[in-house]
A and B are shown apart, each in its own frame.
Chain A
Amino acid sequence: MSITTPLFQHHKHCDDIFADAESACGNGDWEAGGKLFALLQSQLEAHFSSEEELLFPAFEAATGMTSGPTEVMRGEHRQMRDLLGQMSSGLAERDGDAFSGAAETLLILMQQHNMKEENILYPMCDNALGASDLGDNLAQRLKAS
C-alpha cells in the first residue's frame, strides 16, 4: 500500500456520499439530503485539511516545489469549499435549481481535481515520500473524521 492509498480510497467514499446527497435532494427529500450533505461537507473538509496540513507540506519539504502542483490543489480546495457553501445555501432555502447547479459544478471540479491528484500528484508524492510513515497518519486522520 502506498502512502497516498488512504486518500485515493477516500475520494471514492466522498463520491458515494455525493451521489446519495444529490439523489435525495433531487427527489425532494431535503431532510435526508441535508444529513447526507452535512456528512459530505465534513468528509471533504477532513480530506482537504489532511492534504493541506500533512501531505502537501511534506511533499514541498522533500522536493522544494512550493509553487507548483500543491498550490494549484490548494486553490481548487478553496473553490470546492465555496461551492459547498452554495450548495448549503440552496439546501437551506430548499432551492432545487441552486443546489443542483452548484452540485453539478462541484462534481466536475472535484472529479478533475481527483484525476490530477490520482494520476499525477499522488504518484509524485509516493516517489518523494515513499519511506515515511505519512500514510498511517493520513489513514488515521481520515478514519477519525
Chain B
Amino acid sequence: MHPNLSFDQAPPISVPYRFFLTAPWFGMLAGLLLAWSGGDGLGSRWTPEVLALTHLAGAGFMLQAMSGALFQFIPVAVGGNVWRPRLVANVIHPLLVLAALLLVAGLLFSNPALLSAAVPVFLLGAGGLVAAVALALWRTPATGMTLWSMRMAIGGLAITVLLGSLLADALARGLNLPLIDLTNVHLAWALGGWALMLLAGVSYHVVPMFQLTRPYPLWFARGFGPLLLLLLCAWSSRLLLDDDRWTTPIALPLLLLFSAYAVMTLWLQYTRRRKVDDATSLYFRVAMVSLLGFAVSGAAVRLYPPFGDDPRAIVWLGVLVFVGVFVSATAGMMYKITPFLNWLHLQRLGAPISAVPNMKKMIPADDMTGQLRLHVLALLLLLAAVWLPTLARLAGFAFAVSCAWLAWNLIGAARRYRMFTDQIRAVALHP
C-alpha cells in the first residue's frame, strides 16, 4: 500500500495562483528601479542597484513562480503530498514576499537594520517551504530523475538561503568574512543548485509533455543533476582552499554542463513531433538560447581577460541568466500551467465538460505572444544597456511594462476562472 500516494491534482487553485500572481510584480519593481536609477546603475555587480535588481529577480520573481510551480508539480509529477498546502502557503507566501522586500530595500539603501530584519523572515519563510516540500519529496513512493532533481534542488535552495542569510548578517553587522567568495558560492547554489536543477528536473517532464518531443536520454537525465551537484561542491571548495587556480578548471566544466542542457533541450524541441508553436515553447527557446549565451560569455570571462576584467561583464552574465533564462522559462511555464489549472478546477465543479471553456479561452494567445515579444525586446535592451548606460532607463521601463503585461495576462486568467465559475454555478442552480 502507498499511504502517501497522491493521485489527485491537488492543491486548491489558490495555492499556486497566489505565487504566480505575485511573481510579475517583483519584475515590475525591478524594471521601475532601473528606469528610476538609470545612469550607470548597471556598471558593476556590486552597485546597490544591481544587488537589489538581482534579488528582485531571484528572491522575488523566480522564488515566487518556482514555489507556486512546486506546490502544483509535486502531486502530479512525483505523486507527493505537501502537508496542508493551503495552510503552508498562507504562512510562507507573505513571509517570502516580506523577506524579499526587506532584503531588496536593505541592499538598495545599504541599511543594516533592514538587512537584519530580512534574515529571520527569510529563514522562516524559505525554511517552511523547504521543510514542507522536502517532506513531500522524501515520502513519495515514486522514483525517477525528476524526483531526484527536485530533491537536489530543494537542498540547493536551503544552501542558497543559509549562505544568503550569512551574507546579509555579515553585511549588517560588518562581520569579517570572505564576502566575495561567499557571494560567488551563494550565487552558484542559487542559480545552479536551486533554479537550474529544478528547471532541468521539471524539463524532463514538461518538454516532452508540452511539445511531444522525444524524452531526454536516460544517460543525460541520470548524469546532469549529480554532475551539477559535484561541480557545485567543487566550486564551493573555494571557501576552504582559498586557491584561485581552481576557479577556471571548475567553471569551464560547469558552463559546459549548462550548454549541454541547453543544446539537448533545443535539439529535442527541433526534432519534436508536435509542430504547433506557442508562447510556452517560444519562451523555452529564448531561455535555452540565453543559457547558451551565458555559458559562452562565462567562458569568455574566464579565458579572455580584456572582457573578464571589465566589471560590466558579470552584469551582462546576470542579465542573461536572470532575465534571459529564468524569467523566460518561468513565464513560459506559467502560461501553460495557468490555463490548464483553470480548466481542471472548473470541470471539477460538476458541470458537463462541454460547458467548461477550453484552455485557449483562458488567456488570449495574441496577448501571450505580444507579451513574449516585448519581453525579448526588454531583454535585448537590458543587454545593450549594460554597455550603453544611456539605454538603462528605456530598458528598465520596457522590462517593467513587459512584467506588467505578464501580470495582466495572469490576472485575466484568474478573473476568467472566477467568471466561468459563477456562470457554471448559475447554470447548476437554474438549469
**Which A residues form the contact surface with B (CB < 8 A)?**
15-16, 18-20, 22-23, 26, 63, 65, 68-69, 72-73, 79, 82-83, 85-86, 97-98, 100-102, 104-105, 107-109, 111-112, 115-116, 119-121, 123-124
Contact = CB atoms under 8 A, between A and B. Distances in A.
Interface string B1-27: 110010111000000000000000000
Nearest to A64: B1
B353 A23 contact: no
Contacts of B210: 107-108, 111
Chain B interface size, as a band, is 35 or more
A105 B209 contact: no
Nearest to B274: A19
B142 A108 contact: no
B212 A19 contact: yes
Contact of B360 (A23, A63, A101): A101
A111 B337 CA distance: 13
Contact of A120 (B7, B208, B344, B361): B7
Contacts, number: 93
Given A18-B212, A105-B358, 20 more contacts: A16-B212, A19-B212, A19-B273, A22-B274, A22-B276, A69-B5, A79-B347, A82-B354, A100-B276, A101-B359, A105-B343, A107-B210, A107-B212, A107-B274, A109-B344, A111-B208, A115-B77, A119-B143, A121-B7, A123-B143
Contact of B76 (A23, A107, A112): A112
B275 interface: yes
Contacts of A100: 276, 360
A69 B208 CA distance: 23
Contacts of B7: 68-69, 72-73, 116, 120-121
For A22, A73, A109, A116, the residue with the greatest tally of chain B CB atoms inside 10 Å of its CB is A116
For A26, A68, A112, A120, the residue with the greatest tally of chain B CB atoms inside 10 Å of its CB is A120
Contacts of A19: 212, 273-275
B358 A102 contact: yes
A130 to B, nearest CB: 16
B135 to A, nearest CB: 18
23 contacts: A16-B212, A23-B276, A26-B275, A68-B5, A82-B352, A82-B353, A83-B353, A85-B354, A86-B358, A97-B360, A98-B358, A100-B276, A101-B357, A101-B359, A104-B359, A111-B210, A115-B76, A115-B77, A115-B205, A119-B77, A119-B78, A119-B143, A121-B7
Contact of A105 (B76, B276, B359): B359
Closest 7 A/B residue pairs (Cβ): A101-B358, A101-B360, A82-B353, A19-B273, A111-B209, A69-B7, A72-B7
B79 interface: yes
Contact of B8 (A26, A72, A120): A72
Interface string B57-100: 00000000000000000001111000000000000000000000
B274 A108 contact: no
